Chain A
Amino acid sequence: MTIPQARLRNFSIIAHIDHGKSTLADRLLELTHAIDPRQMTSQVLDSMDLEREKGITIKARAVRLEHTANDGLVYGLNLIDTPGHVDFAYEVSHSLQACEGAILVVDAAQGIEAQTLANVHLALREGLTIIPVLNKIDLPSAQPDVVMDELENALAIPREEVLLVSAKEGTGVPALLQAIVDRIPPPKGDPKAPLQALVFDSHYDQYKGVVVYIRLAAGTLHDHDRVRLMASGAEAELIEMGYFRPALVPVPLLTAGEVGYVATGLKNVREAQVGDTITSADAPAGAPLPGYQEAKSLVFAGIYPVSGEDYPLLRDAIEKLHLNDASFTFEPESSVALGFGFRCGFLGLLHMEIVQERLEREFSLDLIASAPSVEYEVLRINGGAPIRVDNPSKLPSIGEIEEIREPWVQLSVVTPSSYIGALMELSTNRRGSFVGLEYLDPTRVLMKFELPLAELIVDYYDQLKTRTAGYASMDYEEIGYRAANLVRLDVLVAGEPVDALSMIVHRDNATKLGRTLVGRLRQLIPRQMFEVPIQAAIGSNVIARETVRAMSKNVLAKCYGGDITRKRKLLEKQKEGKRRMKRVGSVEIPQEAFLAMLRTDES
């Protein structure tokens, strides 16, 4: 059914992590009969295995709903459920660009958190209508009055506008649906103008080629139209188009203001990238849409196949995954220790973990990621423009370096005021400085710090949670580069430098970090058939050393008639474990070793 533009509503659901966005989406899907009750599960839009396992949303998901409002008319609602984790702020800002409104969900028991603030600012920047919702009012610990005060104080949101909802039990959700219809303006955009549709996501389908997800800014699209991707120049005759309901459901027509998908049949994934504009091949628009600002990678690591011959498979997998997650960057690199792989840039550590896991699962690969690093700016003695170094092993030799600059971030932490002291101490320990503090309500504050990003990615978040009994939340943004006294810490395993373990550290901390690192490596590298010395060095100067003693016993004591099958399976499991390790020289190193510095075991 074609619904006139005036009755379309495009909105995102935004919130701090775990405040109940996906659960609220479940209720909206149910109330609008978008999904067969027999297929309903909780957080039904979190369809990726990883999302279900981790219980968080990783990718924004769009769904087209149809709702008969109080006026008896049918409205077309396009809902986008967004992720809450700070690493995926980029997904949120994309989603917001496709909307006129945002439902701001705040947990009535937790109150405003760091990403609540960050997401509201994103929505305001896009000029969206915000519908504030207090969720989880069924909880005995819910304090709607206190949280409404916070919204008023910190975000100038009048309490009259706030809706009270329990996404779990469904209370208040019908009223929210009506508020969506009443408060959010319909999209603009002339259906008769030349076609301009922004590609905001895509995936690869074996049969239908690249399937792109679009929002039409102007024009109309009919199935089997010939389209052109304005940036790549590729043209294609559409194989299929439709809505997300949430499964892909074909429709013959999409018009300005609507969100949907088109199957292009294109086999080359580079021809249809996120941010490109689709127009008509026969009557093209004069100019493309502004597209997206490229996601800024903050954390870099090498990704390598465990066995070298999988390199071509990895290349193919990375390109295909990139279609579905345009927010990581990649370029080929090689490592002495790890062979051929890709240097990848990520939005944060969770993002890095997820990209690696998706590559492994969706493409059946065994991968190793090197120690993560931030991107440094290096000024050389002989002048010239500063070079960017996102791989510690590429740092020029000390003699050539005039200055190294590292990225800094401004960190916003929302915390109960009783932890102010603990957080001050944590940030000072991490070379950070305190910027300011603001009370959200009598017991909770928003604190701001500046600190080097490198200090943040180590284990700052875990420490923050540990020191505040889990109560604090944080968000950060980059604030530029600052010079520091930095050196490269190298690691030698069995006398061989392992470039993938190198890291850039502050000179004052180098010795302490070197000791911690080799200590952890000693525990993480399993005993081998020979003794393995592990050393940390700055230049040729060894600053710490430990030894992994030779393995003394690996034997199955009993192997009688009943044991043969069982023992074979145990051996197969051991073999699988070995296969997951990277052989560097003669030493087998497990993935965890490369992430040794990220583990929290100090306080």
Chain B
Amino acid sequence: MSLPPDGEAAPTGDLGWGAVAPVGLYLHIPFCVSHCPYCDFVVVAGREARGPANRIASFVRALEQELDLRADALDRHWGPPGTAARPLLDTVYLGGGTPSLLPTNSIARLLALVRSRFGVADGAEVTLEVNPGADERGDAGAIRAAGVTRLSIGAQSLDPKELRTLGRRHSPDDVAETVRAARASGLASVSLDLLYDIPGATLESWAATLDTALALVPDHLSLYALTLDDPDAEGITGPGGDHLPVSAGARRWRDQARRGQDDDRAAAMYELADRRLAAAGFAWYEISNWARPGHRSRHNLAYWEGRAWEAAGPGAHAFDGRTRRWNAARLDGYIAALTPSDGSAPRLPPGLQEPVTASGREAESAILALRTSMGLPPSALDRPALGPTLTWALEAGLLEPTRDDRLVLTLAGRLLSNEVFVRLV
């Protein structure tokens, strides 16, 4: 199975019903130098991430073990990689946390293991998330040599004051330096993550951050509204949950920061970005993502197109076309299961799974498709579960037909997309 090139219609909404072998692989690397107060990702920071007591090596051993067990299961089920039932991987994504904190030889070994056990297609997209700080961005040349083709850089802002507000350790110059090093090493694709609606930010500071970012000539930009959730209240931080409890400090920070947020300002920032980016040659292709031609994230597109992917690492989620499965977030349980101290056989880490029902699947794939510039085919209007909402959204100006005959969210529709989605779930 190969992915269509940018701009070509992808099948959406009615992929076949049944489990399939993965075309992507996500690896979750949970270490960060420090834990940013707004961040809900599965992260371990501080002593466990750096210094004499760090747990990186034991984590990497456990991750290798999990990859082996997952590959064994795929082998049993679908046969060896490279057959019709078991395609080679089209994408690999090392996310975090801060994967660039891993020693380069660990990255190389992990990717070698992935190639031998899962099979990676020629021309595959291999992304690594990096943080820009001088002591955490790693060596771009060695990263590239390990097989990485794409860097996703957690810039967050290019305004020193906002970076401080966010509790980030790096400076705007660090971001520039990371991009420069990536270019120098010949990495094929470079993406920047930025946050808007940061407390204290203004439309002007946001415009300046965008200009500075564009001046660095990235290939891809992800712009996220700063989102301050409460995973504890969502009930996903229990022992088997895929998130970790929020610390008291982070909770206080969020309560305070929420007061500095403003939906109207956020909407204005989004609209401004959409205009500037379009003028700079970036096409919008998902609610929070813009890319220059040929640089969309194929790995992320696979999520939105409902394809199957495998995953490993604490809190990581996988999907086989029928069931969503995830590992529990806690590192201790993860390491203990995969590398038992009593010498017993390694076991898959604790976790949960949830089958996607047929009706859930229909809503979910419509929502994911609508998040993207691919949208839905007009035939979706005839589906009883979707038609009324789509008609309403067309009338409300949230959705529009495109020249190539797809139904796609308008700019207003993207900003109010939950109003559409909530009518679909």
Residues on A facing B (Cβ under 8 Å) = 527, 529, 549, 551-562, 564-566, 568-572, 574-575, 578
Contacts and interface: CB of A to CB of B under 8 A. Distances in A.
Interface stretch (B158-166, B207-215, B260-268): B260-268
A557 B224 contact: yes
A549 B364 CA distance: 30
Contact of B417 (A527, A529, A556): A556
A571 B423 CA distance: 9
A554 B317 contact: no
A568 B360 contact: yes
Given A564-B368, A574-B422, A555 B225 contact: yes
Contacts of A557: 224-225, 227, 287-288
A562 B354 CA distance: 13
Given A554-B415, A555-B415, A570-B234, A565 B422 contact: no
A558 B288 contact: yes
Given A553-B264, A554-B419, A565-B354, 7 more contacts: A552-B267, A553-B266, A555-B287, A555-B414, A555-B416, A564-B317, A568-B360
Nearest to B231: A566
Interface string B304-331: 1000010100011111000010100000
B425 A554 contact: no
Contacts of A552: 263-264, 266-268, 415
Contacts of B417: 554-556
24 contacts: A529-B396, A529-B419, A549-B264, A552-B263, A552-B264, A552-B267, A552-B268, A554-B415, A554-B417, A556-B418, A557-B288, A559-B303, A561-B309, A561-B311, A561-B319, A562-B26, A562-B326, A564-B317, A564-B364, A564-B368, A568-B364, A570-B234, A571-B421, A572-B425
Contacts of B368: 559, 564
A570 B371 CA distance: 16
B250 interface: no
Contacts of B326: 562, 565
Contacts of B309: 561
Contacts of B268: 552
Contact of B234 (A553, A554, A559, A566): A566
A559 B367 CA distance: 10
Contact of B303 (A527, A564, A566): A564
Contacts of A570: 234
B317 A565 contact: yes
Contacts of B334: none
Q: Which 6 A-B pairs have the closest CB atoms?
A: A552-B267, A562-B317, A554-B418, A557-B224, A557-B225, A553-B263
B399 to A, nearest CB: 13
A562 B415 contact: no
B116 interface: no
Contact of A571 (B236, B354, B418): B418
Centre residue among B288, B304, B371, B425 by max chain A CB count within 10 A: B425
A558 B419 contact: no
Interface string B100-114: 000000000000000
Contacts of B287: 555-557, 559
Contact of A551 (B263, B304, B414): B263
A560 B303 contact: yes
B270 interface: yes
